[in-house]
Amino acid sequence: MSTEQTRVAIITGGSRGIGREAAQRLAAQGFPVVINYAGNDAEATAAVEAITSAGGRVIAHRADVSEPEAVAGLFDVAEQEYGGVDVVVHSAGVLNALKPIADTDFDEFDRVHRVNVRGTFAVAQQAARRVRDGGAIITFSTSVLGLSLPGYGVYAATKGAVEAITMILARELRGRDVTVNTVAPGPTATELFFDGKDEQTVARMAAQPPLERLGRPDDIAEAVAFLAGPARWVNGQTLRVNGGIA
């Protein structure tokens, strides 16, 4: 890849939370970014306005990541608008209602797997085909996977699949100078994290890390920016960004 070539990033789930923070961070570093979002037009518009007002280049594109044709269209838009794709940050995902495995409904199981596993596979497939040499692919797992917390059976299972897909893709892209890694956040102060949790649960989880606080979206975006840019010798790894929980 030419050193003069502007590096372009796609961020799925980029309208809110960690994805939005990552989009803002990369845009501030000079990446033209394409924000993918599932359906909240207002949040996508707000994300675009925030980046644009800070001097960044950004467009938003609505697409269901679990639909391969929609994901291909997302990459088409990035190529048409900015000339190519160098970095893919796949942060889109959903969390199930926290229940024991014995009480989990299979409709819920299928819904979460469709977005988190099928969606990751669809994005990984397009990224493998279309990210330019010298690029980076970053997926998202969770530190819950290593903690084996009760109630997270469905979600953790999907993220185990994400890690497997990511590690295999890193090896399949041998010779391309494309890094492939996954970021596994710990408890992070986002809308997704707070949903359905009472104050006692939040306080207990915030006290778990030795740093004794929840992560912030900018903590995770910092790791994303590292993997997207200078970390050319980090490949096929899971980076657990969790304040030292495990």
Rounded to the nearest 10°, the torsion over CA 151, 157, 163, 164 is: 160
Q: Record the tokens describing residue 228, joined without a space.
A: 């997207």
The span from the CA of 168 to the CA of 235, in Å, is: 11
pLDDT of 234 above 90: yes
pLDDT of 13 above 50: yes
Q: What per-residue confidence (pLDDT) applies to 242?
A: 93
Over residues 117-152, the pLDDT tens digits come to 999 999 999 999 999 999 999 999 999 998 888 999
The span from the CA of 239 to the CA of 182, in Å, is: 6
Q: What per-residue confidence (pLDDT) applies to 225?
A: 97
The span from the CA of 78 to the CA of 83, in Å, is: 7
Instruction: Confirm whether 155 is a catalytic residue.
Output: yes
139: helix, strand or coil? strand
Q: Record the tokens describing residue 29, joined without a space.
A: 């570093």
pLDDT of 162 above 90: yes
Beta bridge partners of 185: 241
Where do we find the tokens 């185990």?
160
- Kindly state the percentage of the chain with pLDDT values over 70: 98
The span from the CA of 144 to the CA of 86, in Å, is: 29
210 burial (CB, 10 Å; 0-12 / 13-18 / 19+) is: exposed
- Kindly state the percentage of the chain with pLDDT values over 90: 80
Over residues 170-215, the pLDDT tens digits come to 999 999 999 999 999 998 888 778 877 888 888 988 898 999 899 8
For 63, the enclosing helix (H) or strand (E) is: none
Over residues 67-123, the pLDDT tens digits come to 999 999 999 999 999 999 999 999 999 988 889 999 999 999 999 999 999 999 999
> Cβ distance 165 to 121 under 8 Å?
yes
Q: Record the tokens describing residue 162, joined without a space.
A: 């994400």
31: helix, strand or coil? coil
User: Residue 4's pLDDT band (boundaries 50, 70, 90)?
Assistant: low
List b or e across 168-185, with b for residues whose CB sees 16 or more CB atoms inside 10 angstroms: ebbeebeeeebbbbbbbb
The span from the CA of 71 to the CA of 163, in Å, is: 20
In the sheet with 9-12, reading across from the earlier edge strand, the strands are 58-62, 33-37, 9-12, 85-90, 131-140, 179-185, 238-241
Per the document, the length of the chain is 246
CATH superfamily of 9-188+219-238: NAD(P)-binding Rossmann-like Domain (3.40.50.720)
Tell me the DSSP string of 173-209.
TTTS--EEEEEEE-SB-SHHHHTT--HHHHHHHHTSS
Q: Per the residue annotation, which of 37, 82, 152, 155 is the catalytic one?
A: 155
